[in-house]
Amino acid sequence: MSKQQSKMICPKCGDEMNHHADKLVYPGSAQEAEKMDPTLGGVIDETHCLPAPAALSRHAGQNDF
């Protein structure tokens, strides 16, 4: 994963979120398999945090937003 990516924007408040975690998830369906990173053999599930409580948002794949 590149170190420089555009920040994820919170769809509720428009603030920038911090990308602080990735998890490799093995695809369980054909739809998920389409998002698979072939070099890792799975889908990267990202976790982003807004600097405010209860503002976590999670995305399946870095190109989904």
Which residues of the chain form contacts with another protein (CB under 8 A)?
A: 1-3, 18-23, 47, 49, 51, 53-58
Specify the 3-state DSSP secondary structure of 57: strand
User: Residue 64 CB, nearest distance to another protein (Å)?
Assistant: 15
* CB closer to another protein, 3 vs 12: 3
CA angle 14–17–19, rounded 5-degree value: 155
Which is closer to another protein, CB of 14 or CB of 51?
51
Smallest separation (angstroms) from another protein to the CB of 12: 13
User: Which whole-number Å values give the CA distances from 29 to 1, 10, 38, 45, 48, in the listed order?
Assistant: 24, 28, 15, 15, 24
